[in-house]
Amino acid sequence: MNYKSLSVARRGGPENLRVVERELKAPPGGQVRVRVLAVPVCAPDITARYGRSPFVPNPPFTPGYAIVGEVDAVGRGVSKAAVGDRVAALTVYGGYAEFVYLAENQLIPVPSGLNPAQVAPLIMNYLVAYQVMHRWARVKRGAKVLIIGASGGIGTAFLQLGRLAGLVMYGVASKNKHAVVTEYGAKPIDYSTEDFVEAIRNMEPDGLDAVFDGMAGDSFRRGYSILRRGGVLVGYGNPMSYAGTVAVLGRALLYNLLPDGKSAKYYSTGISRLDRRPFLEDWADLFRLLQEGKIKPILDSKYPILEAARANERLESGQVVGNIVLLSPDLL
């Protein structure tokens, strides 16, 4: 028996995603086989396909930064998972598939009653926003913050979680996406017609408590300039290369040496994932918030898993508000 997955045949656009068949084998010792129910289509999937990420594998490889699924079979020695368990995983690669094989210690327990399509964005996009806000910036109720890139998967997670945290929010987004920014109580700033530095200085002359920067370019420097004394900038955007990563980390280090009372940090799930405990705690909090109806990921569109090329094309269009999710056909 075989199963299908998507493989990047060569660097480049979505047309380079090809459906391939693989043998469906029993999981080896210490691993489980998971039937994939939902996969969030994330920006790292796109940059990896183009080769614009540090440490990206050479083609052929299967993208897919995270998955939600159901344990289908367990290997010898597995004690913390059973067939039928609902689980998730931060896979980084390999998620665009009908089945995945995961080590037992990669599994994230997921409450069985939750909709997989709603859970999928929590595994990466909402996790990033939650950890940047609460573990890195340590925001307090009433804090004034700027979200650079407020309309995408991570940006809308910031808006929902920021409203829950009682933040005063400003969001940089294109004009046609301002409705979602205002829906969550944030003040929109149009990046194509407004200088966000000038706009913030006019609205908040004393500066901001935090800036969340998902662009990883010149916005890092400009965002830092509008912090008040004691404020913090946290960058989380893809620096596009190993050299870019070194440059971003070096810039953050340099800013932290300045005697201005501000600080700068760079967040990455790869850097942060060394200690799994905070991740499991934060995913559990996010699942609880979803169960209680306090957050609800915005789903821009849904596609069958094997139509990931269309989903990637949609994400690259620049028209997406919220999240794109790939689903098992029985969930569509």
| Shared domain check, 183 and 71 | no
Q: Tokens in use for 273?
A: 């994932």
Least confident of 53-67, 129-143, 271-285: 271-285
Q: Tokens in use for 314?
A: 């949609």
Average pLDDT (141-167) is: 97
Q: Among residues 223, 252, 271, which one ends one of the domains? A: 271
| Shared domain check, 243 and 200 | yes
How is residue 150 annotated by DSSP? -
Q: pLDDT category, 273, cuts 50, 70, 90?
A: low
| Shared domain check, 257 and 175 | yes
Asked whether residue 187 is assigned to any structural domain, the reply reads: yes
Asked whether residue 36 is assigned to any structural domain, the reply reads: yes
Over residues 215-232, the pLDDT tens digits come to 877 888 999 999 999 999
Rounded to 10°, the helix 308-316/43-50 angle is 100
> Which SS3 state, helix, strand or coil, does residue 228 take?
strand
0.75 surpassed by pTM:
yes
| Shared domain check, 221 and 131 | yes
294 closest CA partner among 128, 166, 208: 166
| Shared domain check, 261 and 207 | yes
Domain that holds residue 325: 2-110+298-331
Q: Domain of 25: which CATH number?
A: 3.90.180.10
Domain tally, the chain: 2
| Shared domain check, 324 and 234 | no
43 closest CA partner among 233, 240, 303, 246: 240
d(CA 6, CA 25): 18
Asked whether residue 277 is assigned to any structural domain, the reply reads: no
